Every structure is written in structure tokens, then in C-alpha cells.
Amino acid sequence: MARRWDPERRQRIIDAAIRVVARAGIAGLSHRSVAAEADVPLGSTTYHFATLDDLLLAALRQAGEDFAATVAARRSLSDPDTDLAAELAAWMGEWLRGDRSRLELEYELYLAALRRPALRPVAAEWAGVLAALLARRTDTVTARALVALMDGICLEALLTGRPYDEDYARDALARLIA
């Protein structure tokens, strides 16, 4: 039997892996669970991704690319008249209000790098993209500190379930920028 040409299969597998992690966490990720979610033969997942780390790496890279595209689409970072602290606090508000599942997924993939060294370079790229964009408006050290503060505020809100306090975030960010 001839093999069916399916140029989108790899991407469908990555998308399925993201859905599995969103639903069941990283502990629920397996080649079998992803194959079932993607509706592809099990051999397809192992063909495209020999290990689960390879699959997680692709999912983390996609989440990072999606995040970078979202941030880059916001032209306010290049506008010197924009109140940077207020803009960043507003962004976090958009991320944290309503359905937090996408943000939870992104942080779960990001933090998976703590236990999986193969993921660390991609996780570092994710933070580096935002820091590089912020460095256009401030110095490199402050840009990295802003990213760390934003991560901390987002993680605190996700972990505690408390409502996001945009005034607090704006004030904390402004202190770093000053």
C-alpha cells in the first residue's frame, strides 16, 4: 500500500500535543495520547518525534513563536510616547483575564525546561524575545528584569487564582523602568 502524502501531519501532531498538555498536563503526554488526539497512526508520532522531549520541544517552540508574534504585532513597544509600564500591565491583563488556559499551557511548557535540559534553549529564547523587544525602549538589564517581573506576576496570579491587579503591576513595572 502506498503511503499517503500528508504534508500537514507533523503540524497536526504538534497541535495535538499542545491540546493534550492543555488538557492533561505534561504527565499526560505520550506518543499514544498524541496519536489518538491527532487521529494519526502511532508510528507517525514516533516518525516525526523520536522522543517525548522532541515533541515537547516542538510544542514549546510553537508556543514561543505564537507568543512572539502576538507581542510583535503590538506596535506600542516601538512608540517612545507610549507609557511602557501601563502598556505591559495592560498586556498582562489581557493574558490573565477570562480564560487562562492558554497562558497556563504556555507556562507549563516553559517550566518543563526545569526538568528537561533539552528544552532549556527554547525556553530561554522565549524570554529573550520579549527582553529584546523591551531593550529597544530601555537598557538590556532593565529589559530582562521587566520580563522576570512580568513572569512573576503572571505566575502568582495563575497559582493563587487571585484576580489580576493591573494597578499593582503598572506600579511595579514603573519602578523598574524609572
Residue 74 half-sphere exposure toward CB, CA atoms < 13 A:
18
Longest CA–CA span in the chain (Å) reads: 67
Q: What is the pLDDT along the chain (178 residues), one digit of tens a residue?
A: 445 667 789 999 999 998 998 888 888 999 999 999 999 999 999 999 999 989 988 988 887 787 777 777 777 777 888 899 999 999 899 888 877 777 888 888 788 888 888 888 888 887 888 899 899 899 999 999 999 999 999 999 999 988 999 999 999 999 999 8
How many other CB atoms are there within 10 angstroms of residue 23's CB atom?
12
CA neighbours within 13 Å on the CB side: how many for 166? Answer: 12
Q: What domains are defined for the chain?
A: 1-50 (1.10.10.60), 51-177 (1.10.357.10)
Cα 145 to Cα 69, 128, 131, 132, 172: the distances in Å are: 21, 11, 8, 12, 11
Q: How far is CA 146 from CA 7, 27, 72, 178, in A?
A: 40, 31, 17, 12
Rounded Cα gap, residues 97 and 125, in angstroms: 25
pTM of the predicted structure, to 2 decimals: 0.79
